[in-house]
Amino acid sequence: MSTKSRLQWMGILAAVAVFLALPLPVFAQNCALCYTQAASTGARMIQALRSGILVLIIPPTLGTVGLIFVVHRRSNQFKGNDDDAGPGQDW
C-alpha cells in the first residue's frame, strides 16, 4: 500500500472516530413545537410522520448515489492507459 493511500485511510478513520465521539444529543436537536405536536397525536399520525420522513429522505439519497456512480464511471472513462501514451503525452 502506498503512503498516499495509507494517509487517505487514516484520514477516513480519523473522521469516523470524531463522528462517533460526538455526543448523541448533538444529532437530536429538534424543534420543540414539532416534538410536542408529534407527541400529542395518535399512533396513526406518528406512522404517517415516519412515512413522510422516509418519502423526503429516500429520493435525495438515491439521487446522490446515482450522481456519484455516474461521476465515477465518467472519471474512469477519461483516464488513459499509461502503456498507450506516446511521446509528448506524459501530462
Distances (CA, A) of 64 to 71, 72, 78: 11, 12, 21
> Which 3 state secondary structure label does DSSP give 22?
coil
| Cell, residue 54 | 422516509
- pLDDT tens across the length of the chain (91 residues): 678 788 888 899 998 888 777 766 655 566 777 778 777 888 888 888 888 888 999 999 999 999 999 998 888 777 655 555 556 555 5
Q: Is 88 left (phi over 0), alpha (psi -120 to 50) or beta?
A: left
Write the single-letter amino acid at 30: N
52: which 3 cell numbers?
413522510
Q: Give the per-residue pLDDT at 90.
A: 56
Task: Return the pLDDT at 16.
Answer: 87
